[in-house]
Structure 1
Amino acid sequence: NKGIMHACGHDVHTANLLTTARILQEMKEFWEGTVMLIFQPSEEKFPGGAIRLIKAGILENNPVKALLAMHVSPEIECGKIGMKTGNFMASTDEIYITIKGKSGHAALTHSFVNPVNIAAKVLIDMDEAFRSSAPDNFPSVLTFGRIIGEGKTNIVPNDVYLEGTLRTFDEEWRKTAHKIIKKTATDIAKEHKGDAVVKIANGYPVLINNEEITNICFEAAKAYLGENKVESLFYRMTSDDFASFSQLIPSLLYRLGVKIEGKELNLHSPTFDINETALETSPGLMAYFAINLLYNLKKDE
């Protein structure tokens, strides 16, 4: 389709899982248990494919002890992987604010309530309130990337629209941040004779990598790839709807290095590309993870 591309690697994820399935099938006499492969749609469009599958009963109809997911990372050297135990990827919410004023001629200052000025103050004060209240033991981000005020050089508009995102790693602080956003916008708008309508679209929750599952796979990866091929990662402010699974089942999402040396090819950019040699080892690694988890989790019963 014109104007459409794989800019996040989901074609790679699909190819990887198909090949993993083939490897496990060819090795079926060497392992016991059941492996379910989930080809999930719509990771990037709210509310996400994961929650749709959960609501359809995929976990109820197929009792699951552990879940694995992989995502490509162009910043990690090809041939390496990275993972982190505990909270790994941020929750994400979409913020929509309408600042309502009163339109008028820009020269007649007594005749209008300027929503552009109100919106500017809302953004500045909200940023200050958010930063001063945010806990310092984990990262949080409140960023606005869109502001629309369809006036003219000499016309003050009725409304200004703001759109942004909230990302964090703690569900209680997430709720508090929602209150700060709503209160700041409405209070400042009223103070300047305007009004504010705030809509927060709850997105994906925090993605949690289970400690036991992560440790089993970390050691397995060192055995499969080599001691120096497994990196310990930090918090990622990006989000993934696999988080919905991770809230219910012990899970691990790890990152696959696909870096092309000498090139900066970021996810979601028009120049994104991968080093395809990563697929020479990645499906085998995922199969190895699955077999190790089957063995270790059965041993713990």
Structure 2
Amino acid sequence: MKGIVKELVRQTQQKVSEIYRHLHMYPELSFEEKETSAYITQILVDAGVPFRKNIGGYGIMARIEGKEKGRIIGLRADMDALFIQEANDIPFRSVNQHIMHACGHDAHTACLAGTTLILNQLRDKFDGIVLPIFQPGEEKHPGGARLMLEDGIFNEIKPELMIAQHTNMEIDSGKVTFGEGCVMASADEIHIVVKGKGGHGAMPHRINDTVLAASEIVVAVQQIVSRRRNPFIPAVITFGRLIADGATNIIPDKVTLAGTFRCMDNNERKRLKPLIRETIQHTAKACGCECEISIPEGYPAVTNDAFVTRKAANYAREILGSENVGEMERRMTSEDFGFFAETIPSTFYRLGVKGKNNPQCGEQHTDRFLIDESALITGVETFTYLALRFLQDKY
């Protein structure tokens, strides 16, 4: 099986590169992936692969059926880009102003498209069903994964397990990493409006100092992380936006804040969120102010099923070699794949994209992010082989 996969990946390599470059050149923002979706569906039509489209927005789920009934495996890639002006001087540079694939979703989609084409060629050689899922809106709340699930993506057929891969600029091309348990944090936005009676800064006794209240709130919520959190569970609260539209001697009637709450355990997350709200309200009140608080339900933590992940790592060693499969670094960043992993045993692994062809390129979410295209070979090989081995496995 390894030899067949490697040969088909070699034959498909140019097509996958073409798909990647096209997607990189024509990126679209979250929930605006109309042309990207049309491009992928045309590839599926040309290959004779059945699919459903417009799931949770512009989402697509293809269906590749083997020769007999068997296991059902889901493979997921995200399609959306970011609001960034690309700085790379390359022939396939983004033509869409202030929109760029700066997180590798173009590579994810290209790898899954290539994997779909190969599995379709091999459908008379395996039992079971593979469901390639092309997801919109990973980068933007409420998350395309959530919307696809709410739109009934699995009402008719549901995978027994799901697999996703994500690029990583810190890992060399040709390598992948796996991790069991929680590998990425949950993410909840915190939006606050502090209200009071503004006025002259020289007469604080006649006003309610909204700026002081906002400052106290920023400090107070840090004590939730340091004193109220289970010390064995990582969590972060960060405020990146504080707008007090006053002057050197003017306290405004209103101050707005926005921040993020991250946690590596979904139960601890649920316990701490009410405490965050309570602390904000009491702190504002202690300063003589009122406040409006919005903490919308964000992304859950990404928790890899231990059994599935262990199997996947072993299969990856078979196709890539043990020296090219490592341990995944856990991060406080988030991913809406957590919605799938909450309901279906899953594994989310990292694909190395750092190579000789892009040594000066930047990290994810920067204007100079660019993958080493040789990583596409590894991505397709791994995705394809994992799907086939899980289909074969009778555990």
User: Same fold, TM exceeding 0.5?
Assistant: yes
Aligned match of 1:107 in 181, 184, 202? 202
Q: Which structure 2 residues correspond to residues 94-173 of structure 1 after superposition, within 5 A?
A: 94-173=189-268
Query: 1:272: which partner in 2?
Result: 369
Q: Comparing 154-163 with 126-135, which one deviates more in the overlay?
A: 126-135
Task: Say whether residues 1:38 and 2:157 are aligned partners.
Answer: no
Q: Comparing 139-148 with 60-69, which one deviates more in the overlay?
A: 60-69
User: For 1:262-300, what per-residue CA distance to the aligned partner results, in whole angstroms no more than 9, with x for missing partners?
Assistant: 43621111121111110122112111000011111xx12
- Cα distance between partner residues in 2 of 1:165 and 1:29: 48
Q: Is the Cα contact below 8 Å between 1:130 and 1:180 reproduced in 2? A: no
**Aligned amino acid, residue 392 of structure 2:** Y
Q: Which structure 2 residues correspond to residues 191-202 of structure 1 after superposition, within 5 A?
A: 191-202=286-297
Q: Comparing 15-24 with 100-109, which one deviates more in the overlay?
A: 100-109
Query: 2:45: which partner in 1?
Result: none
**Aligned amino acid, residue 342 of structure 2:** Q
Query: 1:79: which partner in 2?
Result: 174
- Cα distance between partner residues in 2 of 1:59 and 1:21: 19
Q: Is the Cα contact below 8 Å between 1:98 and 1:197 reproduced in 2? A: yes
Deviation at 1:25, TM superposition (A): 1.8
User: For 1:175-201, what per-residue CA distance to the aligned partner results, in whole angstroms no more than 9, with x for missing partners?
Assistant: 222122112211121112111222101
User: For 1:158-215, what per-residue CA distance to the aligned partner results, in whole angstroms no more than 9, with x for missing partners?
Assistant: 0111100011122222122212211221112111211122210110111121122111
Q: Secondary structure at the match of 1:201?
A: coil
Task: Identify if the C-alpha distance between structure 1 residues 108 and 136 changes in structure 2 by more than 3 Å, giving closer, same or farther.
Answer: closer
Q: Which structure 2 residues correspond to residues 30-69 of structure 1 after superposition, within 5 A?
A: 30-69=125-164
Residue correspondences, number: 298
When normalised by structure 1's length, the TM-score is: 0.95
Deviation at 1:17, TM superposition (A): 0.5
- The alignment's C-alpha RMSD in Å is 1.4
Q: Is the Cα contact below 8 Å between 1:222 and 1:230 reproduced in 2? A: yes
Task: Say whether residues 1:175 and 2:296 are aligned partners.
Answer: no
Query: 2:388: which partner in 1?
Result: 291
Q: Comparing 165-174 with 90-99, which one deviates more in the overlay?
A: 165-174
Q: Comparing 253-262 with 162-171, which one deviates more in the overlay?
A: 253-262
Query: 2:108: which partner in 1?
Result: 13
Deviation at 1:232, TM superposition (A): 1.0
User: For 1:50-77, what per-residue CA distance to the aligned partner results, in whole angstroms no more than 9, with x for missing partners?
Assistant: 1111112111211311111111111111
- Cα distance between partner residues in 2 of 1:148 and 1:7: 28
When normalised by structure 2's length, the TM-score is: 0.73
Q: Is the Cα contact below 8 Å between 1:87 and 1:209 reproduced in 2? A: yes
**Aligned amino acid, residue 270 of structure 1:** D
Task: Say whether residues 1:213 and 2:308 are aligned partners.
Answer: yes
Q: Which sections of structure 1, spanning at least 5 residues, go unmatched? A: none
- Cα distance between partner residues in 2 of 1:33 and 1:268: 37
**Aligned amino acid, residue 289 of structure 1:** L
Aligned match of 1:244 in 323, 334, 339? 339
User: For 1:133-171, what per-residue CA distance to the aligned partner results, in whole angstroms no more than 9, with x for missing partners?
Assistant: 221223111111100111112211001111000111222
Deviation at 1:125, TM superposition (A): 1.8
- Cα distance between partner residues in 2 of 1:81 and 1:138: 26
Q: Comparing 171-180 with 275-284, which one deviates more in the overlay?
A: 171-180
Show structure 1 runs of 4+ deviating over 3 A.
260-264
- Cα distance between partner residues in 1 of 2:382 and 2:278: 49
Structure number with higher relative contact order (C-alpha < 8 Å, ≥ 6 residues apart): 1
Q: Is the Cα contact below 8 Å between 1:83 and 1:231 reproduced in 2? A: yes
**Aligned amino acid, residue 280 of structure 1:** I
Q: Is the Cα contact below 8 Å between 2:175 and 2:378 reproduced in 1? A: no
Q: Secondary structure at the match of 1:60?
A: coil
- Cα distance between partner residues in 1 of 2:343 and 2:223: 35
Q: Secondary structure at the match of 2:258?
A: strand
- Cα distance between partner residues in 2 of 1:219 and 1:56: 34
